[in-house]
Amino acid sequence: MRTTTVRVPAKINLCLGVGPRRDDGYHPLATVYQAVDLCDEIRATEVSDDAVTVRVQFAGDGRREEAPVPTGPDNLAVKAACALRDAFAVDAGVSLAIRKAIPVMGGMAGGSADAAAALVACDALWGTGATRSELEDIAATLGSDVPFLLHGGTALGGGRGEEVSPVLARGRFHWVFAIADRGLSTAEVYARYDELHADVPPPAPEVPQELLTALAAGDATALGAALSNDLQKASLDLRPELGRVLEVAQEGDALGALVSGSGPTVMLLAEDTVHSEELARLLLATGVCADAVHASGPEPGARLV
């Protein structure tokens, strides 16, 4: 049986500007994404019938309890395989096996990452001949973050997140992720954001200039000071205990700390790998999170291994 394997990174948002809710229910975003080397792996194996199936295995050491991941048609990787098959009239099935390291419902786009990985893995397995831009178009129908996870690196995100364009970024950054014991629904966080802005709608979102300057210079201290997330208040409202994680980040002299995307993962920027190990130890010792993992970025997007 032929097999293809794809590695795909998690994403973080170095800034996440969120505008007023659109008529389609989505919010206009002005974000800078970075892909980090906390990676899921997907193996796609050819099958003799036209069934698209998925198995999920967790890569962690069991420190955190993993939320269930759908293993039927609701799984985003299954949706991705079916969307690609429909678009190119492929007459085949596939068996997908996912090894998950990205936290489930953690604000790091784990589900979207698996969708991007499934697109790349099935495209190679089936030899669809899809162009990069055709894959990106399918990716955008699957979720707002999926096109970025094909792209990887550090990039600007516009539209509802699906419009990705390159940004000048130097150097490599060391992050520690404080992972919560249970996930948070992205839709719920956006709904709380709407409630918080019920009286005064938020302005059109913009990417802060200080952040772009820090990235262009590869200056981690300036980047730490420029991190921002318009969804943070809504996540903290839903999970007040995340405030303690942010305090511990300060106690450990993190260069910056921020809720990742819609949360509940909190990302801490470290000076180097030694500092990131110290921060991870501090987070675990204070018991403010279920797990603390180190990862660095930028990383390439979904790619065959």
Which x/- pattern over 13-32 shows residues binding ligand C5P (rule: CB under 6 A)?
Answer: ------------xxx-x---
- Catalytic-role residue among 40, 114, 123, 145: 145
Percentage helix, strand, coil for the chain under 3-state DSSP, each rounded to 5: 35, 30, 40
What is the number of other CB atoms lying within 10 angstroms of the CB of residue 274?
10
Which x/- pattern over 105-124 shows residues binding ligand C5P (rule: CB under 6 A)?
Answer: -------x------------
Residue 11 a catalytic site member? yes
- Shorter beta-carbon distance to ligand C5P: residue 186 or 265: 186
Contacts 24+ apart (CB under 8 A), 250-253: 251/282, 252/278, 252/279, 252/282, 252/283
Q: Check: CB of residue 263 under 8 Å from CB of residue 239.
A: yes
Query: What would the DSSP string read from start to end of 5-40?
Result: EEEEEEEEEEEEEE-PPPTTS---EEEEEEEEEEEE
Residue 79 a catalytic site member? no
The reply on whether position 143 binds ligand C5P by CB under 6 A is yes
- Give the interface segment with ligand C5P, choosing from 57-65, 183-191, 209-217, 267-275 (CB under 6 A): 183-191
- Shorter beta-carbon distance to ligand C5P: residue 126 or 190: 190
Q: How far apart are CA 17 and CA 32, in angstroms?
A: 9
Residue where the block lists tokens 């007040």: 240
The reply on whether position 148 binds ligand C5P by CB under 6 A is no
From the list 13, 75, 128, 186, which residue makes contact with ligand C5P (rule: CB under 6 A)?
186
Question: Smallest distance, Å, CB 233 to ligand C5P?
Answer: 15
Strand partners, 57: 99
Q: How far apart are CA 242 and CA 180, in angstroms?
A: 9
The reply on whether position 144 binds ligand C5P by CB under 6 A is yes
Q: Which residues bind ligand C5P (CB under 6 A)?
A: 25-27, 29, 112, 143-145, 160-161, 186-187, 190
Question: Annotated catalytic sites, by residue?
Answer: 11, 145
